[in-house]
Structure 1
């Protein structure tokens, strides 16, 4: 089949969640060298969503999915990070062996990959915040990234951690307050203010 037919097949699978569990193997097969970047990118995204719903069935495919974290193509690095984030949201133990490789993406030359890195970490941290409590300096520095998408997303990590582990965000509150009041980007200001609000609420309740 040509790319168009394969992508249509993957879109049909995407729309029918009832068939996901039975099709994980077939979608994972699309990551082999016979397929194009477009097909692999779509397969990686879909495998992440499948893994969120069926973490036990995705387990044997995580090594293959994570192998694209350091692929030469930025779209595949981005989609691999997305997938690792979704799988890790369902079961962090499946992605812990690949966490160091994921963390390397914070330095990626592609803004989209750096953005995907933060988004993936937020997903994993939603249910396993302890994995990132000692890494918050990384996300604070990324608020000053050269890419606007990255800057907008970075404060969200403080919201995610602040909800579950507010004591780790507490040392950053004064810095976040300055950003919430002074940053040139209105969405960065809004997201920083949201992180502050969530963290203060959690601190009050703890």
Structure 2
């Protein structure tokens, strides 16, 4: 019982930190310490999420903890793999150079058995691509294949990567326009159709 109570206390502290953004910089070390302590999955998952958001605002201060964050992409617990993948996306959105050394590991998350993690992988790549689309110009076939994934959440999210890249690098998306237009007209899922049509529209507007 005392362990549960302590766990709840730590989670409450983390929620308080998350709400008080003006105190984020001074609390990075404290939050990161939870990754290596004897804490529950819930505490580590919350810490990973907050570190990702902190990294979006203070990427240089997060750099020292990147190895710890990346390590959880190989964890046995799917929630921790998901949250570390999310965090890498936010950190990479702020500074692509921080995540480039780990990009291959991030790309491997598309093979994860968990639909939530494959979805988180696409979301993380979108975050990075929003400021560094060139990193994914040669990798778009991966996201095209994910439009046909077995998971509905993955299928819905995958076309969004073409919208993000097409907004600033339309030439990279151009080879996929005919395919995306076909999906926009014929896919069984209405949201996949909408997102595919949006990717086509944004890309053509940027050309």
> If the length of structure 2 is used for normalisation, what is the TM-score?
0.97
Match of 1:167 in 2: 171
What is the alpha-carbon distance in structure 2 between the residues aligned to residue 33 and residue 95 of structure 1? 24
Match of 2:116 in 1: 112
Match of 1:200 in 2: 204
CA deviation map 1:141-195 (0-9, x unaligned): 0000000000000000000000011001001000000100011111100000000
Match of 1:51 in 2: 55
Q: Specify the SS of the correspondent of 2:82.
A: helix
Asked if 1:21 corresponds to 2:25, the answer is yes
The alpha-carbon deviation at position 56 of structure 1 amounts to 1.0
Match of 1:150 in 2: 154
Q: 2:193 aligns with which of 174, 189, 196?
A: 189
What is the alpha-carbon distance in structure 1 between the residues aligned to residue 39 and residue 100 of structure 2? 28
Structure 2 unmatched ranges of 5 or more: none
Structure 1 unmatched ranges of 5 or more: none
Root-mean-square deviation (Å): 0.7
Which moves more between the two structures, 85-94 or 33-42? 33-42
What is the alpha-carbon distance in structure 2 between the residues aligned to residue 97 and residue 63 of structure 1? 10
Asked if 1:82 corresponds to 2:86, the answer is yes
> If the length of structure 1 is used for normalisation, what is the TM-score?
0.97
Asked if 1:132 corresponds to 2:127, the answer is no
Runs of 4+ in 1 over 4 A off after TM superposition: none
Q: What is the aligned residue count?
A: 203
